[in-house]
Amino acid sequence: MRIAICSDIHDNIWKLESALPGMNRANALIFCGDFCAPFTLVQLARGFEGPVHAVFGNNDGDQRLLLQKAGEVGNAELHGLFAELEIGGVRIAVVHYPEIARGLAASGHYDVVCYGHDHTLHEERVGDTLLLNPGEIMGRFGRSTYMLLDADTRTVTVHDIE
């Protein structure tokens, strides 16, 4: 089983459109916050063929409408500020903020902890936990990326978006 992980779209619907075919090689998708507008959540959920699990970021302004749109598209679950998931036998925590993610990884309660916010691609082992930031879809700092996690081998590949 493969899990796509992405973050920080910030309404760059053009980069998101380019990323979706590659992310559709996964069975599930994790989003680490900062859609910004509800139409971006709709594009992500309609463009991804499997379940989408998302958390709020600090730039997700209309949270009520984001929740409403997540319910309407049918395959998206907006978990609030924190998600605790089990996908393909992998225990996963998802938050937007790196300082919270680091603490969750250090707890040892999860196999994988995913975060966003600082737009910085990051992969690190904290004890037995994989701490991941997929970078940004937005491309504000030059590189647009997402990750694919192989749930069986717990290996990660980084994919650049043209």
Q: Tell me the C-alpha distance between 39 and 120, whole Å.
A: 24
Full-prediction pTM beyond 0.85? yes
| Domain boundaries defined on the chain | 2-160
Among candidates 36, 33, 96, 34, which has minimal Cα distance to 62? Answer: 36
Superfamily in which the 2-160 domain is placed by CATH: Metallo-dependent phosphatases (3.60.21.10)
pLDDT tens digits, one per residue of 17-50: 999 999 999 999 999 999 999 999 999 999 999 9
Both tokens of 141, joined, read 């700092």
Q: Would you state the pLDDT for residue 140?
A: 87
pLDDT tens digits, one per residue of 69-126: 999 999 999 999 999 999 999 999 999 999 999 999 999 999 999 999 999 999 999 9
Whether 162 has a pLDDT exceeding 90, the answer reads no
The span from the first CA to the last CA of the chain, in angstroms, equals 25
Whether 158 has a pLDDT exceeding 90, the answer reads yes
CA 97 to each of CA 26, 66, 159: distance values in angstroms, whole numbers, following the listed order: 24, 19, 22
